[in-house]
Amino acid sequence: MNAPSLTLRHFFLALLVVAVWGTNFVVIRVALDHLPPLLFAGLRFTLAFLPLAFVLKRPAVPWCHLVAYGLLIGSGQFGLLFIAMKGSISPGLASLVIQCQVFFTIGLAMWLGAERVRGFQWAALMLAGGGLGVIMLNTGGDTSVYGVLMVLAAAMSWALGNMVAKRSAVQNMLPYVVWASLFSAPPLLILSLALEGWPAIRHGIFTADLATWGAVLWQTVGNTLFGYGAWGYLLNRYPAATVTPMALLVPVFGMGASALWLGEALPGWKLAAAGLVISGLALGILYPRWRALRARQA
């Protein structure tokens, strides 16, 4: 039986979620103009935990899973991503490179499950790797090799966090993310104090304008509360195969928003890199579902 298609209303809801997640890279860049990156990440997870923990029940998973997920997603994914976006990679390219978490997640799942890599997965990896190669050959200006490597490390942390969440067998990610934030915020704030220093923290807080604080708040309201809540709502009503391909549009919105609002240039090499990476992602995500559909129809 074919997987049900999204209704028009739910399609636009999914589109709005990926638009929020994609354009959030521009929002992040706005906040980083005033706030040190580790402090910003710490504030993000503080706001993600404090209001919502009073209304969302802690998920019935082991505490060690919440600790591991909180550290990997907080200090790992967002800590490294925010450091990289503080002048070492453009928001548009960051939204693209971070999607390599898909390949890292697949690789980790296959390694832990002792599965072999299939032909289409090698092809998908080669396409995405070619896109990363194009980026590496064109570093300079608003993007450095250091920035790309930091975002790749953030993507690996995200992939490891996905493995923890999968082992938790959690059905609703919103409470899981909220309660894991309890273990994301303190390490980030401690690292901020140790590495960025109190003078930088004080200067960032007292010079931040309304746009900066709006960007911090948006991490909770838009990215976490709306994003995870709406995505979980859709995943509870449709098969994952119907919903998850929409996430391929995140870097499209990320690069488009960065070009429109921040004036990020989109030369041919960036578009070629985006085409290769997104093609690799599409092949890795969509091909097995197409093959399963053909098998059911046979």
pLDDT tier at 298, thresholds 50, 70, 90: low
Integer-rounded Cα radius of gyration of the chain: 19
10 Å Cβ neighbour count for 292? Answer: 12
Distances (CA, A) of 282 to 130, 148, 274: 15, 21, 12
* % residues pLDDT > 70 (the chain): 96
Angle, in degrees to the nearest 10, between helices 8-32 and 250-262: 50
- Tell me the residue range of the domain where 172 lies: 8-297
Q: Is 2 a domain residue?
A: no
- Number of domains the chain contains: 1
Q: Is the pLDDT of residue 229 over 90?
A: no
Q: Is 38 a domain residue?
A: yes
- Average pLDDT of the chain is 89
Q: Which two tokens stand for residue 282?
A: 């599409």
Query: What are the pLDDT digits (tens) for 2-47?
Result: 556 788 899 999 999 999 999 999 999 999 999 999 999 999 999 9
Cα-flanking dihedrals φ and ψ of residue 143, to 5°? -140, 135
Distances (CA, A) of 86 to 25, 38, 54, 152, 270: 12, 10, 33, 15, 20
| pTM of structure | 0.89
Q: Is 89 a domain residue?
A: yes
Q: Is the pLDDT of residue 282 over 90?
A: no
Q: Is 13 a domain residue?
A: yes
Q: Is 3 a domain residue?
A: no
Q: Is 179 a domain residue?
A: yes
Q: Is the pLDDT of residue 1 over 60?
A: no
* pLDDT number for residue 268: 93
Q: Is 47 a domain residue?
A: yes
Q: Is 174 a domain residue?
A: yes
Query: What are the pLDDT digits (tens) for 75-101?
Result: 999 999 999 999 899 999 999 999 888
